[in-house]
Structure 1
Amino acid sequence: MNTTDRLTELGVTLPDAPAPAANYVPFVQVGNLVYVSGQIANGPDGLIKGKLGDGMSVEEGAAAARSCAISLLAQVKAACDGDIERLVRVVKLTGFVNSTPDFTEQPQVINGCSDFLGDVLGDKGRHARAAVSAPSLPMGVAVEIDGIFEIS
């Protein structure tokens, strides 16, 4: 099943690629690699804010990470001139989790992104990854994730 059909099956419509929030570009292509700038957690009601370990559950954090995955794919689609089927594979993700110093479940939070990409892309979605804690993130969001993608 292709990526577009799988997204439809999951009830997901990729939004327009989010505009940068500061002085940077949303992605840079070098050869057949696309480096996507950090995508922040954003849901239907706006930014998904919170701090893991201080009133925000791992499940809520994973949902925020899933929203980052959708934005990452939207950026890849834009880099592919609207043809998401050009995505060959997810190479690497770096996930940042707004969390307290004693919170240790960053990997489970970033699984929200990794699991979604695996569900949508199958083996193309398997990737290298880092999941790290941050004392704060832009605009108070719970999660920010950047990525490297191979395209054809």
Structure 2
Amino acid sequence: MQAIKAVSLPPVSTPRGSYTPILRSGEFVFVSGQGPRWGDELRYKGKVDCDLTVEQGQEAARLCALNIIAQLNGFLNHDLRRVQQVVRVAGVVRCADIFEKQALVMNGASDLFLEIFGERGRHVRIATGTSALPSGMAVEVEAMFRVI
């Protein structure tokens, strides 16, 4: 099994609604949508291509993915080697109606999963756009993993 690349993870945030941040069903673990926060600090707020550049959007998506991994790491008792596959990633980018580079923004999250998990980080994905997200955040990302 390929080694896991070490990265600094943000502190796990508490849910801001009536849901669980992580749930296991059989061999699959689902992580709820995570925002671009470090702890309680929202680091990327606004619309990509209006208030933020595409590159800043990618950084926001990467931070969302770090929060997903932080949730997963705690859930798996700090043993990310149990991850067999990143199965699916879904991301929503807050942007103007005419913006068409949501997939490029979401590469920030996808590239991080590949960086950390190698080939086990390769996944299917959807990237969509919206005019608003909770707290005004720029990006929100959720993911599904197969674990042992």
Match of 2:19 in 1: 24
Identity of aligned residues (%): 36
Asked whether 1:137 is paired with 2:133, we answer: yes
Distance in structure 2 (CA, Å) of the matches to 1:45 and 1:24: 18
Match of 1:64 in 2: 60
Match of 2:87 in 1: 91
SS at match of 2:108: helix
TM-score by structure 1 length? 0.91
Cα distance, 1:53 vs. partner?
Answer: 2.3
Cα distance, 1:44 vs. partner?
Answer: 7.7
TM-score by structure 2 length? 0.93
Cα distance, 1:18 vs. partner?
Answer: 2.0
SS at match of 1:71: helix
Cα distance, 1:139 vs. partner?
Answer: 0.1
Distance in structure 1 (CA, Å) of the matches to 2:40 and 2:18: 25
Against the structure 1 CA distance between its residues 15 and 52, is the aligned structure 2 distance closer, same or farther, given a 3 Å change threshold?
A: closer
* Residue type of the alignment partner of 1:149: F
CA RMSD of aligned residues (A): 1.5
Match of 1:106 in 2: 102
Match of 1:151 in 2: 147
Q: Alpha-carbon deviations, 1:71-125, whole Å to 9, x = none?
A: 1111111221221111111000100000000000000000000011111111010
Distance in structure 1 (CA, Å) of the matches to 2:138 and 2:147: 29
Distance in structure 1 (CA, Å) of the matches to 2:23 and 2:40: 29
Say whether the 8 Å CA contact 2:10–2:38 is kept in structure 1: no
User: Which residue of 20, 34, 43 corresponds with 1:39?
Assistant: 34
Q: Give aligned pairs, total.
A: 146
Say whether the 8 Å CA contact 1:34–1:79 is kept in structure 2: no
Cα distance, 1:19 vs. partner?
Answer: 1.4
Distance in structure 2 (CA, Å) of the matches to 1:43 and 1:83: 21
The unaligned stretches of length 5 or more in structure 1 are none
Asked whether 1:2 is paired with 2:3, we answer: yes
Say whether the 8 Å CA contact 1:35–1:149 is kept in structure 2: yes
Distance in structure 2 (CA, Å) of the matches to 1:43 and 1:89: 25
Distance in structure 2 (CA, Å) of the matches to 1:134 and 1:113: 18
The unaligned stretches of length 5 or more in structure 2 are none
